[in-house]
Amino acid sequence: MTAPTTNTWSLTAPNFNFGTQTASSSVINSNATGDTAIKIVNLSGTSTSFSLQQSISDFTLVSNTVVLPATGFYVSVANSSDGKLIGSSNVNIFKQNGVVLRSGTGANGTMNSGAVTAQLTVDGTTRVIVTGSYKATITSTLVTGP
């Protein structure tokens, strides 16, 4: 059997649920813990250096296109226990790319980060917060090289 020479990387990232929040006419900071660690699998056979960039879209009501007046989405990722993954703290990925994780020593095989947390900042002082359930999409990009 021959190992594949392409598509030798895979990535699994957590989901966040901020639960029920009380809307107000002030700035709201809501915290959530990801439902899983970030899992990166490198089957290339090498310890190629890499970084994980993420960005998150606007939060929109599930029922229509109303946008939540969010101003920031800050991600913190704890280091892996084996030193293969180095996390970052308080990286704002709201509608912009931010590096949330980098490779450490011997970054190959199956690697799991430590806990992943997020803080969503919503500004209700300038726009009305419409009641309902909101969703957003996190885009993850694995960038190899120094």
Helix, coil or strand: residue 36:
coil
Query: What pLDDT was estimated at residue 13?
Result: 95
Asked if residue 18 belongs to a domain, the reply is: no
Asked if residue 114 belongs to a domain, the reply is: yes
State the DSSP code for 86. Answer: E
Query: What pLDDT was estimated at residue 21?
Result: 85
Query: What pLDDT was estimated at residue 146?
Result: 66
Query: What pLDDT was estimated at residue 22?
Result: 81
Query: What pLDDT was estimated at residue 39?
Result: 97
Measure the CA–CA gap between 134 and 19, rounded to whole angstroms: 10
53 vs 4, higher pLDDT: 53
State the pairing for strand pair 50-56/116-123: unpaired
Q: How confident is the model at residue 35 (pLDDT cuts 50, 70, 90)?
A: very high
Residue 13: name the closest of 46, 50, 41, 47 by CA.
41
Count how many Cα atoms sit within 13 Å of the Cα of residue 82 in the half-sphere of its side chain.
11
Q: How confident is the model at residue 7 (pLDDT cuts 50, 70, 90)?
A: low
Q: Where are the beta strands (DSSP E) in the chain?
A: 9-12, 27-33, 39-42, 50-56, 60-61, 70-77, 85-87, 91-92, 98-103, 109-112, 116-123, 134-135, 138-144
Asked if residue 3 belongs to a domain, the reply is: no
Asked if residue 1 belongs to a domain, the reply is: no
Give the total number of structural domains in the chain. 1
Q: How confident is the model at residue 24 (pLDDT cuts 50, 70, 90)?
A: confident
CATH of the domain at 71: 2.60.40
Q: What percent of the chain has pLDDT over 70?
A: 95
pLDDT tens for 48-98 read 899 999 999 999 999 999 999 999 999 999 999 999 999 999 999 999 999
pTM: 0.90
Query: What pLDDT was estimated at residue 43?
Result: 87
Query: What pLDDT was estimated at residue 54?
Result: 98
Contact criterion met (CB below 8 Å) for 126 and 36:
no
Q: Which domain holds residue 66?
A: 9-13+26-144
Asked if residue 112 belongs to a domain, the reply is: yes
State the DSSP code for 57. Answer: -
Query: What pLDDT was estimated at residue 91?
Result: 98
For 7-42, give one letter per residue: b (16+ CB within 10 A) or e.
eeeeeebbebeeeeeeeeeeebeeebebeebbebeb
Contact criterion met (CB below 8 Å) for 42 and 112:
no
